[in-house]
Chain A
Amino acid sequence: MTQLALVIDLNTCVGCHACVTSCKEWNTSGTAGPMVDRNPYAAEPTGTFFNRVQSFEVGSFPNTQTVHFPKSCLHCEDPPCVPVCPTGASYKRPEDGVVLVDYDKCIGCEYCSWACPYGAREIDEQQKVMKKCTLCVDRIYDQSLPEQERKPVCVLSCPTSARIYGDIHDPESEASKAINDAGGYQLMPEWGTEPANHYLPRRKVKITVHQEDLQRADNPLRKEDRGPRAPSTRTTLDDSTSW
């Protein structure tokens, strides 16, 4: 069974908020929109977002690292928000595992947001319905888009390719390989919600370069021994004239 998800690489995320703004741009003008703002250009701006980037400082000064942490709906495999919904507006699609809200059925009771331990759902203050990440469900199947663009817009916009999209139940997918190869993990695994979205941990990327690596000492085709042609020792015109 397919389970579409995002794999977010905390090692490469630079916290630029491109995923946040592109998510807002795509979804506010798409089927999930509008995502209403309050005081957008004044003090205390606030509004509906499906994706937010938080920043954390890990360690104690001066040995600290800044971890940027993009946070959106994790499309849990056992989503606690779905069974509590009284109207059936919240549902998990069996065909691809995306958790969605039917905005025409939602009564805005906020009960699902009480049930979600990650705080992934937000009520839209103007439309009065619960909204959340749709995994760009109105993009990923759009036949009018070129195939390489049929991805969530946050994935496309990420300048450092920190977001990988794919079917985590398919062991050959890029997302599954990233989880397996780079130690992908789930958030709050102790709750048993089985989040589909995974995060890749920070990794040490320092490498030591040895002189032999540069010299290609054991390469029979090496060219290091053959230096440039030695300069001529004969007298040239320049030696006998002066301008």
Chain B
Amino acid sequence: MKPALSVIFLTTLIGAGQGLYLAYYSAEWFVMLNILPAAQVDYSGYAAGLSFLLLLTGLLASFFHLGHPERAWRAAAMWRTSWLSREVIALPAAMLLILVYALLKMSGNDCLVFMLGENIPISIATLAGFGAVLAVCALFVCTAMIYACLKFLRQWHSPLTVFNFILMGCASGFTLATAISTFARDGRFDYFSGMAVFLTLSALIFRYASLSRNKRLRGPPTLQSAIGVHHPNIRQLSQGAMGGSFNTRAFIHTYGVSVLRLARRGFLLMGFIVPVILLQFSAEASVLFFAIAFASQYLGLLAERWYFFIEAEHPQNVYYQMIS
């Protein structure tokens, strides 16, 4: 498949935004449960605001993928059958709930709804935030299932795709949360950096598993089955178009093996190894290290998503053995 640039930005930006939100919202619960110390200045509102901006940027990027962005609202119609349609519903839902949470937290106008047990106060922000967690989880599944549900794209049609989207999104979000926490000095550094390392390493394992799965996939459909002529020796003479067609432009990439190897090694290094090394710095280190860790991871994940597209071999390519 040819990589769709806007989709690469959409999936990586919303992944980081969702991970960042989950990092700060889960930390808030740990504070309420007295597992983490309470911060002097609570940055969770600002972190959620940043998460909202990441989701918004991702949403804007996705519009560049559409031929008719003005009709995008129609895409919510077929949620019964289409994962893309479900994503179109889950993304604004997550954005709205995260925005409510962020505004309540930042303005300080939060009010108590009820006490859970003896000493856990459940406020409107906590409730909205919980709704946002559900929407974020749904969004992760919807985004990944858009690719994983296409059974003819064998490289994508695997549960590993879903695990990878969730793990990579959460890993980059927790790395970003680590950088924010270093800047804010809100006592959540150990939780965020520990989780970021754990998630990044898990994502590396799952991505590696998917890379090795894709290396050993059973072959694409044969030309014999594609045109129904059962002879071992078939050669294409003409593809039916002189200057290429949508089929050759959209599904066939022309990158060489060396470029692909470079991309694969690059994203494994930048997206996983470099951030894990930089996350070993202590909370007293400069925020710059963690900003670089996030930047490296984000660039690595961009390359990963690019490679994710390149990796997928569309079965229709069997009809385009040569161009004449």
CB of A72, distance to nearest CB on chain B (Å): 10
A160 cross-chain contacts in B, Cβ below 8 A: none
B227 cross-chain contacts in A, Cβ below 8 A: 56, 67, 69, 187, 199
CA distance A108 to B158 in the complex (A): 26
**Are B240 and A56 in touch, CB under 8 angstroms?**
no
**Are B150 and A109 in touch, CB under 8 angstroms?**
no
**Are A108 and B66 in touch, CB under 8 angstroms?**
yes
CB of B261, distance to nearest CB on chain A (Å): 25
- Given A46-B241, A88-B77, also A56-B229 (CB < 8 A): yes
How many residues from A make CB contacts under 8 Å with B?
A: 62
Residue of B nearest to A110 (CB): B250
Q: Does A84 contact B (CB under 8 A)?
A: yes
**Are B251 and A86 in touch, CB under 8 angstroms?**
no
One of A137-145, A188-196, A211-219 at the interface: A188-196
**Are A106 and B243 in touch, CB under 8 angstroms?**
no
CA distance A106 to B237 in the complex (A): 34
**Are B153 and A114 in touch, CB under 8 angstroms?**
yes
How many residues from B make CB contacts under 8 Å with A?
A: 57
- Given A86-B88, A111-B84, also A46-B243 (CB < 8 A): yes
CB of A173, distance to nearest CB on chain B (Å): 21
**CB neighbors of A among B256-309 (8 A):** none
Q: Does B246 contact A (CB under 8 A)?
A: yes
**Are B78 and A119 in touch, CB under 8 angstroms?**
no
One of A93-101, A122-130, A162-170, A226-234 at the interface: A122-130
A122 cross-chain contacts in B, Cβ below 8 A: 245-247
**Are B150 and A115 in touch, CB under 8 angstroms?**
yes
B234 cross-chain contacts in A, Cβ below 8 A: 56-58
**Are B319 and A71 in touch, CB under 8 angstroms?**
yes
CB of B194, distance to nearest CB on chain A (Å): 38
From A44, A48, A56, A185, contact of B236 by CB (8 A): A56
Q: Does B44 contact A (CB under 8 A)?
A: no
**Are B242 and A44 in touch, CB under 8 angstroms?**
yes
CA distance A38 to B246 in the complex (A): 12
What is the 8 Å Cβ interface bit string for chain B, positions 1-22, against chain A (1 contact, 0 not)? 1001000000000000000000
**Are A49 and B245 in touch, CB under 8 angstroms?**
yes
CA distance A41 to B251 in the complex (A): 25
A86 cross-chain contacts in B, Cβ below 8 A: 74-78, 82, 84-85, 88
A128 cross-chain contacts in B, Cβ below 8 A: 67-68
A123 cross-chain contacts in B, Cβ below 8 A: 67, 246, 250
From B71, B82, B238, contact of A85 by CB (8 A): B82
CA distance A32 to B251 in the complex (A): 24
**Are B233 and A55 in touch, CB under 8 angstroms?**
no
B229 cross-chain contacts in A, Cβ below 8 A: 10, 56, 58, 67, 201-202
Q: Does A53 contact B (CB under 8 A)?
A: yes
CB of A54, distance to nearest CB on chain B (Å): 5
Q: Does B314 contact A (CB under 8 A)?
A: yes
Q: Does B152 contact A (CB under 8 A)?
A: yes
Interface centre among A89, A109, A188, by most chain B C-beta atoms within 10 angstroms, is: A109
What is the 8 Å Cβ interface bit string for chain A, positions 67-78, against chain B (1 contact, 0 not)? 101010000000
- Given A84-B82, A86-B85, also A109-B152 (CB < 8 A): no
CA distance A129 to B78 in the complex (A): 18
CA distance A113 to B84 in the complex (A): 14
**Are A113 and B250 in touch, CB under 8 angstroms?**
yes
A107 cross-chain contacts in B, Cβ below 8 A: 66-69, 71-72, 74-75
B84 cross-chain contacts in A, Cβ below 8 A: 84, 86, 109, 111
Q: Does B146 contact A (CB under 8 A)?
A: yes
- A interface residues, Cβ below 8 angstroms from B: 10, 20, 38-39, 43-46, 48-49, 52-60, 66-67, 69, 71, 80, 82-89, 105-111, 113-119, 121-123, 127-129, 185-191, 199, 201-202
Supply 9 further A-B pairs (C-beta < 8 A) apart from A87-B75, A115-B152: A20-B240, A84-B84, A86-B78, A88-B74, A108-B68, A114-B153, A119-B314, A123-B246, A186-B228
- B interface residues, Cβ below 8 angstroms from A: 1, 4, 65-69, 71-72, 74-78, 81-85, 88, 146, 149-153, 221, 223, 225-229, 231, 233-247, 250-251, 314-317, 319-320
21 A-B pairs, CB-CB below 8 angstroms? A10-B229, A39-B243, A44-B243, A46-B241, A46-B243, A52-B240, A55-B236, A55-B238, A56-B236, A71-B240, A80-B151, A82-B81, A86-B84, A107-B71, A108-B66, A108-B67, A109-B67, A118-B315, A118-B316, A121-B246, A128-B67
